[in-house]
Amino acid sequence: MKELKVGLLGIGTVGGGTYAVLTRNQSDIARRLGGNIRIVQVADRNLALATQVTGGQVPVTDDAFAVVNNPEVDVVVELIGGYTIAKELVLKAIANGKHVVTANKALLAVHGNEIFKAAAEKGVVVAYEAAVAGGIPIIKALREGLSANKIEWVAGIINGTTNFILTEMREKGLAFADVLGEAQRLGYAEADPTFDVEGIDAAHKLTIMASIAFGMPMQFDKAYTEGITKLTSKDIKYAEELGYRVKLLGITKKTEAGVELRVHPTLIPEKRLIANVNGAMNAVVVKGDAVGPTLYYGAGAGAEPTASAVVADLVDIARAHGTQAEQRVAYLGVQLDQQQTLPVLPVSEVASAYYLRMRVLDKPGVLAEVTRILGDATISIDAMMQKEPQDGESEADIVILTHVTIEKNMDAAIAAIEVLSAIDGKVTKIRMEELGK
């Protein structure tokens, strides 16, 4: 095999990790591959940083288009992020007949259909293992390891920042805002944490997994996204008393009515392995009809974990370089002309079990009124817990776990409960998933 020549766009955290892993493990990679992978040019706005990271061993430039247009480069590794310049660079690299490796989940979730179409027309590879769950080889598992299966559902903790925050809230009983501040100080959370805490980053990753799992185009605009900003440590504590952990899950399921594509806080039974994934770690459960549930766990971010995925993509591309497109794994698991645009269900049509918490006046008959409303809506109660008023309070917390019902049915019942005179304020609703079968 001749040498694969790489142009690196961005030598920040992941770019630096990629340079370090490729350099350190060069001989192991070469033994596996029967050839070499060599970075021949690096672009970064910070030339001093680029020179420092590469030790002056590689030509550096602050013009990313110089790399994309460099005839020596076989593969462009895009680690810039964002939708605008990154999209231009990726499309230009493809137009120039170069393969692309990207860690950019936002770009693929939003513009992936266009990018993969362009890549197919030019016969180049676009690889993106690092875009979902960092170092966990979940794309390879879904797309190749599980290719014998009909995928039934995928559920994952695919954002480390929010998992860190939820873990701290549970372990220390702290409020969301306090933990967010700590996460920012520790460098887990960005200065603008919106994409993480509002579930958008997770929805990007989920969109990509759903596309592979169900052989459909990216449909990020149809994803339901609810973050963790309104979660209270009280609900996390009550859930725990009932045997559940609260996680920000990305869930995609194929049902007869359509595909569910949703990110939201979710109660999971604590006996599930994924319920015990703590700190900034990621994990994904994939249920295939033949294999059953399978679990993938590891670091979802960070320099070398993410570089591990980037370099593995480079190894795959080195093997695929010079082959015909039909000899390669399809970008999204199925051939592009075989994709089916399955309808994505609005969240109001999703079937789920629910955790409900309400503050009620502690007087006779209140519970009867609440359960009558649920009964009239044919919503079956699975468990119930009442927390007595604390000293000086006249209101109690009632927590109800329901069996599965359609969300719009649940919302109608909640609206009826909220107008009862004995109910104070809004009912807190958190969806629940068994993730068992």
**Active site members:** 205
By CB under 6 A, name the one of 41, 54, 70, 159 that touches ligand HSE. 159
Q: If binding is defined by CB under 6 A, does position 161 make contact with ligand HSE?
A: yes
By CB under 6 A, name the one of 137, 250, 300, 333 that touches ligand HSE. 300
> Using CA atoms, how far apart are residues 395 and 414, in angstroms rounded to an integer?
18
Stretch that binds ligand HSE, among 153-161, 341-349, 389-397, 411-419 (CB under 6 A): 153-161
Question: What type of residue is 195?
Answer: F
Footprint on residues 177-196 left by ligand HSE (CB under 6 A): 196
> Using CA atoms, how far apart are residues 79 and 13, in angstroms rounded to an integer?
9
Residue 383 C-beta: closest distance to ligand HSE, Å:
32
Q: If binding is defined by CB under 6 A, does position 207 make contact with ligand HSE?
A: no
Q: What are the residues whose beta carbons fall under 8 Å from the beta carbon of 282, sequence distance 6 or more?
A: 133, 134, 136, 156, 157, 158, 159, 160, 163, 297, 298, 299, 300, 301
Q: Are 239 and 200 in contact (CB under 8 A)?
A: no
Angle at 25 between CA 19 and CA 31, to 5 degrees: 130
Q: If binding is defined by CB under 6 A, does position 160 make contact with ligand HSE?
A: yes
Footprint on residues 362-421 left by ligand HSE (CB under 6 A): none
Q: Are 105 and 342 in contact (CB under 8 A)?
A: no
Helix axes 176-186, 160-172, angle to 10 degrees: 130
By CB under 6 A, name the one of 21, 126, 261, 301 that touches ligand HSE. 301
Burial class (CB in 10 A: 0-12, 13-18, 19+), 323: exposed
Q: Which is nearer to ligand HSE, 196 or 407 (CB)?
A: 196
Q: If binding is defined by CB under 6 A, does position 102 make contact with ligand HSE?
A: no
Residue 10 C-beta: closest distance to ligand HSE, Å:
14
Residue 81 C-beta: closest distance to ligand HSE, Å:
9
With contacts defined by CB under 6 A, how many residues of the chain interact with ligand HSE? Answer: 7
113 alpha carbon, distance to own chain's centre? 18
Q: If binding is defined by CB under 6 A, does position 109 make contact with ligand HSE?
A: no
> Using CA atoms, how far apart are residues 5 and 66, in angstroms rounded to an integer?
15
Residue 141 C-beta: closest distance to ligand HSE, Å:
18
Q: Which is nearer to ligand HSE, 59 or 298 (CB)?
A: 298
Look up residue 128 and give its DSSP letter.
Answer: -
Q: Are 212 and 142 in contact (CB under 8 A)?
A: yes
Q: Which is nearer to ligand HSE, 201 or 313 (CB)?
A: 201
By CB under 6 A, name the one of 78, 201, 316, 407 that touches ligand HSE. 201
Residue 123 C-beta: closest distance to ligand HSE, Å:
29
Q: Which is nearer to ligand HSE, 161 or 339 (CB)?
A: 161
Residue 377 C-beta: closest distance to ligand HSE, Å:
37
User: What is the helix (H) or strand (E) element at residue 353, kind and residue range?
Assistant: strand 351-361
Stretch that binds ligand HSE, among 8-16, 41-49, 159-167, 394-402 (CB under 6 A): 159-167
CA distances from 54 to 57, 78, 243, 306, 400 (A): 6, 17, 50, 18, 58
Residue 201 C-beta: closest distance to ligand HSE, Å:
5
Residues making contact with ligand HSE (CB under 6 A): 159-161, 196, 201, 300-301
